[in-house]
Amino acid sequence: MFREHASLIQLLTKQHIGSELSDLQVTKLCNFGDLLLDWNQRLNLTRITEPHEVILKHFIDSMVLGRFINGLTFADLGTGAGFPGIPLKILRPDLDIVLMDSLKKRLDFLDVVIQALDLKGIKTIHARVEDFGRDVHYRRHFDTVSSRAVARLPVLLEYALPVLKVNGLLLAPKGSQYEIEVTESKRALLLLGGSIEGIEHFNLGEGAEHRAILRIRKVKETPPEYPRQAGTPAKDPLS
């Protein structure tokens, strides 16, 4: 199905990201789209199923982050159906990516995608995000972390900053209400060692919401008591 939209993938990637995809990259995105819609019938991975919308709101929306990535180690927290991690891996094969999610069935789908697309340097991790942040293998490990629509910013900061290296970067895609979340996050930034370095605005055109990517730099070590135990950050945000 997605193969007939290959030229659209090329066009939108060039238009919004400034990158020329190879035929192999386009093929991998098409195959990913086909797998997504096939598995979606059983797992309810996404409510977006029209191919043009999948390309714009999932593929392009994920790959936009590529221009801001810091370093080569990247964690996608609460990856869901593989966004932004899978499109970023296709765009940037040099990245070493971890896809983390708490639902094993979603990761089973992503393991099939990784094998079918022959992606190297990418793996899935089944964990609660708070446990991931306390795991010695991943704490202070990543150059860049991102997460789409997992939590409001004060909560996301507690999830993400512990697994970043000092001077690492959190890329937090938000909608038009981002300013409210920034205001809510002053205490969390102070406690967790983060600083908002910049805000990048973009719009993917008609039918796609305004996007603001918050670039948050980890400027000092996160205290060892964070993240708190599973469920606590969401119930009692640091705001």
Any domain includes 141:
yes
- The per-residue pLDDT for 206 is 66
129 in a known ligand binding site:
yes
Q: Is residue 156 part of a domain?
A: yes
Tell me the CATH number at 164.
3.40.50.150
Q: Is 197 annotated as a binding residue?
A: no
Q: Which domain holds residue 76?
A: 68-235
130 is in an annotated binding site: yes
Residue 8 lies inside a defined structural domain of this protein: no
* One-letter identity of residue 96: D
148 annotated as belonging to a binding site for a ligand: yes
74 labelled as ligand-binding? no
The pLDDT score that the predictor gives to residue 175 is 86
26 occurs within a structural domain: no
pLDDT reported for residue 208: 65
Mean pLDDT in each 10-residue stretch from start to end of the chain (239 residues)? Answer: 95 94 98 98 93 94 95 97 98 98 97 98 97 97 93 96 98 92 96 97 75 96 97 94
| Residue 48, domain member (yes or no) | no
| Inside any domain, residue 95 | yes
Under 8 Å between Cβ of 87 and 62:
yes
Instruction: Tell me whether residue 43 is in a domain.
Output: no
Query: What total number of domains does the chain contain?
Result: 1
